[in-house]
Every structure is written in structure tokens, then in C-alpha cells.
Structure 1
Amino acid sequence: MCIDNLRGQFGSKLVLLEILSFHDQDWENYMEHMEDYDDLRSELATSLGEVDQSISQMKRFQSHTRMNIVRDWYVIQSNNKYISYYSLVQCFVIVICSLSQVYMLRRFFRTVPVTPNSKPRA
């Protein structure tokens, strides 16, 4: 045992010395308890290994599910663009058809206010 007195040369020091001793019977009881704890520790390690394996399997499943969700999102986006484009095209076709029908009907029922001799029609 070495006690350094360099910093406290003029002060007093208190040294606490504790000596523990075991009787043989106490030591054997202690070792038996430790063996029980070793069994418990090994069972706990096995259980924790199974939990870790289950968690890693769950993480793989969640990752796979996230990838499917992202893929589905891109499919939905693509379908939305496709539907929007063709809806716009159909709107233009409807407007063009409507205008052509109006033009054809006006042309069909068009009457000339004058006769071929340039006389007003009565």
C-alpha cells in the first residue's frame, strides 16, 4: 500500500482500511448462487437472441413494404398523368366536334336574303 503525502504535507490524512473475509460455507453458497445466475444468464441471452432475430425480420418486412408503397406511388402518379393527358385531349375533341356541328347546322339552314337576280326575297 502506498499513500502519497505530497500535496497535504501539513494536514492530516484519514485512511480507511476494510478487510473482508468469507467463510468456506458462505463461499460455497455464493458459488451456487452464481451457477444459478449463469443458467439464468444463458436463458436470457437465448431469449434476447430470439428477440433480436424477430426484430431484424420485422425490419426486413417493413423495408419491403416501404419499397412496395413507393412503387405503388409511382404507378399512381403515372396513371394520373395518363388520365389527365387523355382527359384534356377528349375535352379538345368535344369542343372541336361541337364547333363543327354548329358550323354544319348553320351552313345547312343558311338562306340567302336575295334571289339569284339580286332581288330581295319576300
Structure 2
Amino acid sequence: MTKIVLFLNVIFSILWPEGWAEVVLGTETDEFDFDGLPGAQHEFKIEVGAGKEECFYQKIVAGGKLHISFEVIYGGDTRINAYLRNPVNPGYIDSVEYQGVGTLMHHAQFTGPYAICLDNTMSRMASKLVYVFLVTYVEEEWSKYRQEIEEVELTVSNFTVSIQNVHESVKDALVHQAQSRMHVIKDWYLITGNNSYIQTWSICQCVVVIMCSGIQVFFVRRLFRGTNVTPTAKPRA
């Protein structure tokens, strides 16, 4: 299945070299991988049959850098040959011979599909499973991408600080509103208490005034009260 996918990728890159353009950070480019990064990164395992050579291809732009690491996981003596070829020169531009672990590195001078080949022709009986990690990138594009990411992070940081300031202001406003409510409640209880106090004392004072008025009328009338007969029951003159 891995071989079929790699073969289809090679065919599509050759037949439609401009068909895989991707919009990244507002710019349409075919020099970026589909993960949105300025380059490509792949890791996979591939089985190389006994006495066979397996090649896969990665498109690289001029000025890009290629780094390939591999390790034979199992099979035979766990050693294999690895070669790197550019799209112009039919010969190998870098190679690792008969190693279980190795690295291929190259600074691309030409744009096109570079071939990475794993050679197991020295082993006639045992197939080998190889783990491959591949990274390719353009240093200038990567620096630009990193700078844009840092600017985005700075903008996000500033936005976060602004949101925190707004949150603190909202919290202060809520505290102020709570204090205002407490003051309103305190004033309401104070006014209600004063109203009850004034009403009670007003009623008491009214009762006292009425009682005093009644007593005064009673005693004033007693001062002017007289009888028509004397104590001996004789008419007064």
C-alpha cells in the first residue's frame, strides 16, 4: 500500500507540477506541504524485498534543504544501502553504504523530484523493514514563517492582555455594583427605621397632647362649677 501511494505521488508531481498549490498565510504556493508548514515532513516504514531496490521521490525547490534519517528495524543483518539522486544528474549525490542506521543530507541546487533509494540487492534471501524520517524545508521561507508565527503569537498575547484588562475592569465594576447595592439596602433599612421611629413617637405625642387637653378642660370646668343651694339645702342668693 505504501509503495502504491508513493508511486501515485510521483506520477501526480510529474504530470501536474502546479496542481498541488496550497494557500498558506494568504499566499498560494506549491513549495509548501499540505500541513501548512514551509516544507515537508514524512515518517514511514517501507519493506525492501530480498535482492530489490525501492525508491521514493520528494519534490524540492532550488535552495531547499533535505535531511533523511533511516534505520533498519529488522531483516537479515539489518544493514542496507541508501542513495540520493537529483532530477538532473543520473548519478548519486550522496550515499550511505551497508549501514543499519544512516543519514543523508543535501542542499538542493535544482528544483524537481529527488530520488531516495534503499538498496537491498546484497541480500539474496532476507527482506528488510526500514524506518525513514524525511524533512525538507527552505530556510528563508521557514524564517519568514517563524517570524509571522511570532507576530501572530505577539498579537494573541496583546489580545490576551487586553482581555485580562477588560476582565479586571468588569470585576471592579461588579464589586462597585455590589457595594452600591449594599449601600442602598443599608439606606433603605435606615429610612424604614427612622420612619417607624417617627411614626411611633408622633402617635405617643398625639396621645399625650389629647390627654393633657382633656385634663385641662376637666379642671377648668371644675373651677367654674357652682351649686344653687347651700350646704343646708337653702337657696343661694
Q: TM-score of the superposition, structure 1-length normalised? A: 0.71
Q: Which structure's CA Rg is the greater one?
A: 2
Q: What displacement does 1:41 show?
A: 1.5
The AA in structure 1 aligned to 2:190 is: V
Cα deviation 1:2-41 (Å, max 9, x = unaligned): xxxxxxxxxxxxxxxx84332459x539724443222211
> What is the letter of the counterpart of residue 102 of structure 1?
V
- How far did residue 61 of structure 1 move? 1.6
Pick from 52, 58, 74 the counterpart of residue 173 of structure 2: 58
Residue equivalent to 2:228: 113
Match of residue 67 from structure 1: 182
Shifted more, 97-106 versus 66-75: the winner is 66-75
Query: 1:91, 1:47 → 2: CA distance?
Result: 65
SS of the residue corresponding to residue 110 of structure 1 reads: coil
> Aligned-pair RMSD on alpha carbons?
2.5
Which structure is higher in RCO with an 8 Å CA cutoff and minimum separation 6? 2
Give aligned pairs, total: 104
Measure the CA separation in 2 of the matches of 1:120 and 1:20: 142
- Structure with the bigger percentage of helix: 1
Distance 1:92 1:113 in 2: 37
Structure 1: runs of 5 or more not aligned? 1-17
Q: Deviations over 1:68-113 (max 9, x none)?
A: 2112211221121111111111110000000000000000111112
Instruction: Give me the whole-angstrom Cα distance separating, in 2, the residues matched to 1:85 and 1:38.
Output: 70
Q: TM-score, normalised by structure 2?
A: 0.39
- CA drift of 1:116 comes to 2.8
